[in-house]
Amino acid sequence: MATTLTEIKVTPEIAAEHGVTREEYARIQKILVRDPNITELGIFSVMWSEHCSYKSSKVHLKRLPTRGKLVVQGPGENAGVVDIGDGLVAAFKIESHNHPSYVEPFQGATTGVGGILRDIFTMGARPIAILDSLRFGEIVPGKNSAEPETAANRRILDGVIRGIAHYGNCFGVPTVGGEVAFEPCYCQNPLVNALALGIARKEDIFLAKAKGLGNPVIYVGAKTGRDGIHGASLLASAEFTEESQQKRPNVQVGDPFTEKLLLEACLEAMKTGAIVAIQDMGAAGLTCSTCEMASRGGTGIEIDLAKVPQRETGMSPYEIMLSESQERMLLVAQKGREQEVLEVFKKWGLDSTVVGEVTAGGLLVVKDHGKIVAQIPAHPLAEEGPVYNRPMTSPAPRVESDKDWFPFAPEKTDLTANFKKLLASPTIASKSWITEQYDTSVRTNTLAGPGASDAAVVRIKESEKDGPGGKTMRSLALSTDGNGRWCFLNPKVGAMHAVAEAARNVAASGARPIAATNCLNFGSPEKPEVMWQFSESIDGIGEASTALGTPITGGNVSFYNETLGKSIYPTPVIGILGILDDSSKVLKIAFRHEGDIIVLLNGANSSGAGQHATLPSARRREFSSSEYSKTIAGIVRGEPPSIELGAEKWLIDCLVALAAASTIESAHDLSDGGAAVALAESCFASPGAGLAPPLLGAAITLPENASAEYALFGESGARAIVSVSPRKLAALRATARQYGVGAHEIGKVTREDSLRIEYKGHTVVQSDVSALRDAWANSLERAVTGRNQ
């Protein structure tokens, strides 16, 4: 087979089978000044795939703000790097692994986590946290989802969760947060976006630039097999059809144990000082790591495939170059010091071998037993791929009228039953059944794990033997957010909300948001409407990131998220990193003391429950895009709430100031499900270290605003619910005033097992907290396992 493959005569037709267009093929011929052989075609096809080349997104991504005074490394390296003070830097990045997770949920998710972890430790940073942003189709049969479909979605969910758990738990990095949401559009195209965070000393950051003629190129880690060939080009860069299950062989298989060894060995080898450059072999494996390192270093690289450790015999050059076997790294060492590096990998029981060297002239030369099998200029291959400014069309305006929008219930209606139903809906329900399958506490840095605070908070230890060291009291906070439904209704405003919510979540943990990473999940870029959604989203992210001071430091674009021609909702997911200067000041969502006063903070400084929509019909239009509208009425229409970035910024600054001064006892931002859900969650979280009574309650009077449903469940931004001891209420008011944030007393924390919400003099919600909690806490497990029905 190996010989037949190399003898294949390449034609434009064969190129087309590789996803290479006629124009792209002509470009390849021009670069090579001849026809490519089959191995070279394979190499071009993966490097110029949408996944690796960003050919459809590049022109738009340029519009994102990427600079800031704390940004050490922006997009273009394996991960973004920001200065976090005390001589330390944080490396972080989010990436998608959507298609593999549909085709083979367990392995797809494991390798998603593995890939992003490698991106972090490739930079010389030790990973300290993982977050996962997940989207699935509906898992409970309902109006838009039938049982065979929901059963399939439950199976995908289960596989993905097990996969993430398997990899992260074994690797030994806590999975501390993320989100899980459900919409019918993700039915045959789940989204699995994994974010990893690592820390390092500033001077210890490694880049992937091959320098120094004659320096040896060393292959380390797992052996190369036939798995994952064309993962990037065929799986990640094409939509799904009915035959997509046949793509299972394109999915890679993850081995977290080997990755753990690779991590320890890489960090130890980096300390020798003999490593010049390093890059992981992820998408497009050996191809990508060789040509990108050479291109960035302005050099060439020559390797001999005969020296590459292989899992099986008889692999062709084409297969070795395109394999996406996991847990592999390519590094460049100082000539004469390679033995020091090899010794470290030997100690950890890993393959490591010199496979080539850095050369002059900028050529990537691939040999097999000394015979040249591919010879391509590295820079054009890595950086001069096709760039498309694809056509865009805004969709026809939706014809909607008053009668299509959510009909508010008459005044005085008891909303308790609807509230319970909302709390039990999978998107809002507790995710503890999922997050308890993740190791959330390993490394003993987790100050706020899943659900404890609006953001995940991990501390930086004052000293760790092989860690960053130095004196620091700091913690890092991270949140990932995205709202596909809102982006579908208005991509620009929806994307702005994603940035704002992530930043707000970070601030609600007490941390100052400093930088962002993004994962842009969209349908086919060949559809003008999808490109329009993409372009609008980029504008929204850019505007919001600029306003909130969170430059984009990296991330990834995932196109072709569609099956049988149906696109997912445009789903940009934003991860925001924040710094908390004093780790003892983490804010959590839990109410803590009976008698504390509950205050609704509003950056828009209005009467409280959302000022943006003033006309009644506009409120109904906006409310029709809410989680409540979807869950209770099955209505998904209208527009996301309008957004005021200034108001968001004021609220963020106010929360950070309140945390720094230890003014408040708890903080929880308003998002899915509005004020009512935020209040309930703050009650649910209250059982702490054996406190009695286990659950605190609340008695609330919400300010008048349109209708009770709008006041309780409206999702307009720039708002948070905080609790404060009565003696600090004045201080809270003063701080709020200073930042121009409205502070509205809405009730008190009680010692009763009761949540009561009054509106316009009527009790609209009244229930035991424990009964609400049961609906919220157990519904996901019931839905997935069918247990306790």
Type of residue at 629 = S
How far from 618 is each of 157, 410, 673, CA to CA, in Å? 36, 18, 18
Can you spell out the DSSP letters for 155-203?
HHHHHHHHHHHHHHHHHT--EEEEEEEE-GGGTTS-EEEEEEEEEEEGG
Give dist(CA 752, CA 120) in Å, integer. Answer: 47
Q: How far is the CB of 222 from another protein (least distance, A)?
A: 12
Q: What is the DSSP letter of 492?
A: H
Nearer to another protein, 240 or 438 (CB): 438
733 within 8 A of 387, measured Cβ to Cβ: no
710 binds another protein (CB under 8 A): no
In whole angstroms, the minimum distance from the beta carbon of 438 to another protein comes to: 6
Q: Smaller CB distance to another protein: residue 236 or 448?
A: 448
Examine residue 223 and tell whether it contacts another protein (CB under 8 A).
Answer: no
Q: What letter represents residue 723's amino acid?
A: S
* Shortest Å, Cβ 257 to another protein: 3
Site string for another protein, 462-491 (x = CB under 8 A): xxxxxx------------------------
| Token duo for residue 727 | 């003696």
Residues in contact with another protein, shown as a per-residue x/- string from 545 to 584 under the rule CB under 8 A = --------------------------------------xx
For residue 181, give both structure tokens. 């949401």
Near another protein by CB under 8 A: residue from 1, 33, 396, 689: 689
**Pattern 329-358, binding to another protein, x per CB under 8 A?**
-------------------xx---------
Q: How far is the CB of 447 from another protein (least distance, A)?
A: 6
Of the pair 440, 716, the CB lying nearest another protein is at 440
Q: What would the x/- binding string for another protein be over residues 240 to 259, using CB under 8 A?
A: ---------------xxxx-
230 as an active site residue: the answer is no
Distances (CA, A) of 786 to 211, 777, 778, 780: 57, 15, 11, 9
| Dihedral angle of Cα 241, 247, 248, 251, to the nearest 10 degrees | -110
Q: Is 405 in the site for another protein (CB under 8 A)?
A: no
Burial code (b: 16+ CB inside 10 Å, e: under 16) for 725-751 equals: beebbebbeebbeebbbbbbbbbbbbe
Closest to another protein by CB, 461 vs 566, is: 461
Beta-carbon contacts of residue 249 (< 8 Å; ≥ 6 apart): 227, 229
Query: Which residues, 6+ apart, have CB-to-CB distance to 76 below 8 Å?
Result: 554
At closest approach, how far in Å is the CB of 203 from another protein?
A: 22
- Would you say 187 and 151 are in contact if contact means Cβ atoms under 8 Å apart? no
Kindly state the smallest distance separating residue 181's Cβ from another protein, in Å: 22
Site string for another protein, 131-170 (x = CB under 8 A): -------------------------------x--x---xx
- Pick 395 or 694: Cβ nearer another protein: 694
User: Which of 102, 206, 438, 623 is the binder for another protein (CB under 8 A)?
Assistant: 438
What is the distance between the alpha carbons of residues 101 and 240, in angstroms, rounded to a whole number?
A: 13
Can residue 777 be called a binding residue for another protein (CB under 8 A)?
Answer: no
Contact pick of 4, 313, 401, 444 for another protein (by CB under 8 A) = 444
**Cβ nearer to another protein, comparing 112 with 168:** 168
Nearer to another protein, 335 or 461 (CB): 461
User: Residues 667, 718: contact at Cβ < 8 Å?
Assistant: no
Q: Is 788 in the site for another protein (CB under 8 A)?
A: no
Residue 765's SS3 state is: strand
Q: How far is the CB of 154 from another protein (least distance, A)?
A: 15
Least Å from the CB of residue 752 to another protein: 21
261 binds another protein (CB under 8 A): yes
d(CA 510, CA 526): 42
Within residues 715-774, the interface with another protein by CB under 8 A covers none
Residue 757 identity:
I
What residue type is 506 in one-letter code?
V
Contact between 72 and another protein by CB under 8 A: the answer reads no
* Count of CB atoms situated within 10 Å of the CB of 633: 17
- State the minimum distance, in angstroms, from the CB of residue 588 to another protein: 11
The yes or no reply on residue 690 touching another protein (CB under 8 A) is: yes
51 is catalytic: yes
CA distance 448 to 465: 24
Give the residues lining the site for another protein (CB under 8 A): 162, 165, 169-172, 255-258, 260-261, 348-349, 435-444, 446-447, 459, 461-467, 583-584, 689-690
Q: Which residues are catalytic?
A: 51, 97
